[in-house]
Amino acid sequence: MQNDNVSMQDELRQMKSDYEYLKAGMDKQVIINRQLMEAVLRNKAGVLEANRRNTTAGVGAAILITLAASYIRGLDMRLAGMIAALYVLMLIGYALIYRQLGKIEYGTDNVLSTVTRLRRFKRNYRIVNILSWILVIALMCFLFPEIHHTFRNPERGLAAIAFMCVAVLAGICIQYFMDRKVLKACDDIIDQLKEKP
């Protein structure tokens, strides 16, 4: 009877030791998973932050280049002002959507709130981009005749219009790839947050 009691106590001690070992392993795994999730989230949030900085810098530079080029080349300041106003509207749109998004960090906000902010950001980001390109195309339709008439030589006017068309198409392509990267980063963050332990 006493041997059974001793062997049962030994088994209980062994089970307790095994449990402690497994618990320590699980705790290490949770810490590693949390660190991996933080690194992935930081990386994806970095894509959004880089896009915000690049967009702000790019649009600001475009405003300055437009105004300087119009002054140097003698383009009507009314037209240059319209182009600069378009850039300012784009800048305001991006500033507002990024301000609403706020900072994305692991563990600083509840998951539902962060996912909701990211989904709203994605929707607003698409809206700002669509409206920006509609305004660009409308402005180009207005500017093409004006640009054509500013050149004394019609061939130079057509060349300027062709150059602007190529620039707009290049801008659309670049914007498409940037948008894809930003929207994919949002989706990846949302998916990562949904899997949060």
Q: Which residue has the higher pLDDT, 110 or 65?
A: 65
Judged by phi (left if over 0) then psi (alpha if -120 to 50, else beta), residue 156 lies in alpha
pLDDT of residue 40: 64
What number is the average pLDDT over the span 80-93?
84
What number is the average pLDDT over the span 39-65?
80
- Write the DSSP string, 143-187: HHHHHHHHSSSHHHHHHHHHHHHHHHHHHHHHHHHHHHHHHHHHH
User: Model confidence over 16-47: pLDDT tens digits?
Assistant: 777 777 776 666 655 555 665 666 677 777 88
What number is the average pLDDT over the span 122-135?
89
pLDDT of residue 115: 80
What number is the average pLDDT over the span 141-164?
74
pLDDT of residue 1: 55
Residue 101 near residue 117, CB atoms below 8 Å: yes
pLDDT of residue 106: 57
What number is the average pLDDT over the span 52-78?
78
Q: Which residue has the higher pLDDT, 111 or 140?
A: 140
**What type of residue is 81?**
G
User: Model confidence over 87-109: pLDDT tens digits?
Assistant: 888 889 888 998 888 877 655 56
Question: What does the alpha-carbon distance between residue 156 and residue 46 come to, in Å, rounded to a whole number?
Answer: 44
Residue 169 pLDDT grade (very low, low, confident, very high; cuts 50, 70, 90): confident
Residue 127 pLDDT grade (very low, low, confident, very high; cuts 50, 70, 90): very high
